[in-house]
A and B are shown apart, each in its own frame.
Chain A
Amino acid sequence: MSTNVAPRMIELVHVERSFRRADGTDVKAVNDVSFVIPEGEFVCLVGPSGCGKSTLLQMLAGLLEPSDGDIVVGNKPVTGPGPDRGVVFQKDSVFPWMRVIDNVEYGLKCRGVPAAERREIAWTYLKHVGLSHVERAWPRELSGGMLKRVAIATVFANGGRVLMLDEPFGALDYVTRHQLQDVLLNLWNADGAGTRRTVIFVTHDVDEALSLADRIMVFRSGNKVDDIAVKVSRPRTTDSLLLPEMVEIKRKLLHHLGLDHAAGLDAVADEAVA
């Protein structure tokens, strides 16, 4: 990690978050998590549901306060939500009362960017995600996949240096999910090496993590249990997923998810070492 030349973008130091259950007992959703993410890295957070990965993302977004520990993004401690960090939510977040183009412009408008300029920016990203033909449509006229495209265009247009996506494609069908993965990667790549945005992508889909990430962090019951670098070059295809090193990572991930049988690890000793 210390050999990394890119500056630190995100730093978590002993971050904890507990919730009080209805019966009065405390549950630790996130337990003593620390990590550093350099600028421009594409990181996937993987883990079974309830492992704390979404809670972690909410805290990074500033929508939830940590019970303990520090979160620093771009050298500034996180105290609340801000346009330096864009979020694509799992549920549909596109405002139904604004036309598509107004949705994409929303963040820019909040920050007082002049009308002509923000329209230009919004238009550019809308074209990037392939939705220039529905610019004036109401969101109710769009499909689930198109709404996700609008949400992605919105956070990219807003210009945050960190993008966080919380299981964004979980509810979409196979084809749409893969199309949107491409849309996301293309937008991310379009910035060019050295100026790419930092992406944190929460997913429970192992293959999705393998085809997107530079680095995969695995969470289980609120703890970070593994941190794996994925060095396979881009663009990745279905064949990339069959490379021996990919298969090895996939085995590890499936093991962490408790799917030893699927990973063919029934008789193999626990070999996952961070």
Chain B
Amino acid sequence: MKLGARVVRDRWISLGVFIAIAAIWQVLSVIYTVEAVPGEPMVAGWQVLFTKTFLSMADYWAGGLGVPSVAEGADRSYPAAALSLADHSLQTIIRLASGLVVGGGIGLALGLAVSWSRWTRRLVDLPVQFLRTLPLLAMVPLFQLWFGTNIAGEILFVAYGIGVIVFAGTVNAVRNVPSIYIDNARALGASRLTLYRTVILPAILPEMRSTVLLSLGTGWGAVLGAEYLGAQSGLGYVIVYAQQFAYLDRMFLIALLFIVYTSISYWGVSKLTARMLDWAPPSQRL
């Protein structure tokens, strides 16, 4: 099939670009040997990142599971490094997922409230539009002072970042629902609640899908920001710690990990929602 052949060719091109970027990075690490502090190159080559840098992740391992930590006097080991990365990743992902559920849920509910009735519009629209204009990163110190190192503060920060995007996306998507479907449902006897459940929600799904993907990008950024707040775990914590000692290679390794996680989460949301969009024409399912 022609289309299939094109997809395969596109994949090879993507892979080629990917390898080229990795190669450029490697070349850069050889010709640009400036060090931030002695022993810490500005650009760390792959041979460093996957050995010394990866091993150094063992420093963040708290011990347990039969793998002793560096603090307990053990040498850096690959198992400790791998467990450490997995543990901190899990912390970050839990914060992101909780924030996504809380923020997505509240954003969706408030977004729907804008079109529900004149009263709910008046109650919700202006305050949330105001909240929306607050710059997310400027809120980091505020949240730090309000919640300290409490995990609730980190989740709320992520929820806030995601919530305002989902809110705006919902308001817009509801506005774009063709009025013919609403008229038809009302003429057939649907109550307002039924109308929202059976018409508005499915009709906004294709647009909400891109909104969720957009908010997911912000969410990954927000969870890092939240962990700068002074969390004692998570990938953001590893970066903050590494920054204090100018461990550029560690920061870069975490950044790479972020790229992988973000891609997986995009792919996961796409797959999940594609199944819910069986009904839509292919152009809306991409």
Question: Which residues of chain A have a CB within 8 Å of any CB of chain B?
Answer: 61-63, 80-83, 85-87, 89, 91-93, 95-98, 106-107, 110-111, 138-140, 154-155, 158
Cβ B180 vs Cβ A97 within 8 A: no
Cβ B183 vs Cβ A93 within 8 A: yes
Cβ B188 vs Cβ A89 within 8 A: no
Cβ A97 vs Cβ B202 within 8 A: yes
Chain B residues with Cβ below 8 Å from A93 are 180-181, 183-184
**Distance in angstroms between the alpha carbons of A110 and B184 in the assembled complex:** 12
Cβ A111 vs Cβ B199 within 8 A: no
Identify the interface centre among A87, A93, A107, A111: most chain B CB within 10 Å of its CB: A93
Which of A63, A91, A139 has a CB less than 8 Å from the CB of B186? A63
Name 22 A/B residue pairs within 8 A (Cβ), A-sorted. A61-B187, A63-B186, A63-B187, A81-B183, A81-B187, A81-B189, A83-B187, A83-B188, A83-B189, A86-B187, A86-B188, A89-B184, A93-B180, A95-B202, A97-B202, A98-B198, A106-B185, A107-B188, A110-B185, A110-B189, A138-B278, A138-B279
Identify the interface centre among A82, A91, A110: most chain B CB within 10 Å of its CB: A110
Which of A61, A63, A110 has a CB less than 8 Å from the CB of B194? A110
Closest to A80 in B: B186
CB distance from B204 to the nearest CB of A (A): 10
Cβ B189 vs Cβ A87 within 8 A: no
Chain B residues with Cβ below 8 Å from A63 are 183, 186-187
**Distance in angstroms between the alpha carbons of A97 and B181 in the assembled complex:** 11
* Cβ of B70 under 8 Å from chain A: no
Given contacts A87-B183, A98-B279, 19 further A-B contacts (CB under 8 A): A80-B186, A81-B183, A83-B187, A83-B189, A89-B180, A89-B183, A91-B180, A93-B181, A95-B181, A96-B279, A96-B280, A97-B203, A97-B205, A106-B185, A106-B190, A110-B185, A110-B188, A140-B279, A154-B188
Closest to B191 in A: A110
* Cβ of B4 under 8 Å from chain A: no
Question: Which residues of chain B have a CB within 8 Å of any CB of chain A?
Answer: 178, 180-181, 183-191, 194, 198-199, 202-203, 205, 278-281
Chain A residues with Cβ below 8 Å from B279 are 96-98, 138-140
Identify the interface centre among B186, B189, B205, B280: most chain A CB within 10 Å of its CB: B189
The total of interchain contacts (Cβ-Cβ below 8 angstroms) comes to 71
Closest to A139 in B: B279
**Distance in angstroms between the alpha carbons of A80 and B189 in the assembled complex:** 10
A82 and B189 contact, Cβ closer than 8 Å, known pairs A89-B183, A93-B181, A95-B181: yes
Cβ A158 vs Cβ B188 within 8 A: yes
CB distance from A240 to the nearest CB of B (A): 32
SS of B interface (majority): helix
**Distance in angstroms between the alpha carbons of A95 and B199 in the assembled complex:** 8
CB distance from B11 to the nearest CB of A (A): 28
**Distance in angstroms between the alpha carbons of A138 and B279 in the assembled complex:** 6
Cβ A110 vs Cβ B190 within 8 A: yes
**Distance in angstroms between the alpha carbons of A155 and B187 in the assembled complex:** 9
Cβ B198 vs Cβ A140 within 8 A: no
A140 and B181 contact, Cβ closer than 8 Å, known pairs A95-B199, A158-B189: no
Chain A residues with Cβ below 8 Å from B190 are 106, 110
Cβ B189 vs Cβ A111 within 8 A: yes
Identify the interface centre among B181, B187, B203: most chain A CB within 10 Å of its CB: B187
Q: Which 10 A-B pairs have the closest CB atoms?
A: A83-B189, A107-B188, A93-B184, A97-B202, A81-B186, A87-B187, A97-B279, A110-B189, A81-B187, A110-B190
Cβ B187 vs Cβ A106 within 8 A: no
CB distance from B87 to the nearest CB of A (A): 42
CB distance from A53 to the nearest CB of B (A): 17
Chain A residues with Cβ below 8 Å from B186 are 63, 80-81
Chain B residues with Cβ below 8 Å from A158 are 188-189
Chain B residues with Cβ below 8 Å from A98 are 198, 202, 279
Chain A residues with Cβ below 8 Å from B203 are 97
Closest to B281 in A: A140
Closest to A106 in B: B188
Cβ A106 vs Cβ B183 within 8 A: no
CB distance from A274 to the nearest CB of B (A): 31
CB distance from A75 to the nearest CB of B (A): 19
Closest to A95 in B: B181
**Distance in angstroms between the alpha carbons of A138 and B280 in the assembled complex:** 9
Cβ B180 vs Cβ A92 within 8 A: yes
CB distance from B275 to the nearest CB of A (A): 13
CB distance from A64 to the nearest CB of B (A): 10
**Distance in angstroms between the alpha carbons of A139 and B203 in the assembled complex:** 14
**Distance in angstroms between the alpha carbons of A91 and B178 in the assembled complex:** 10
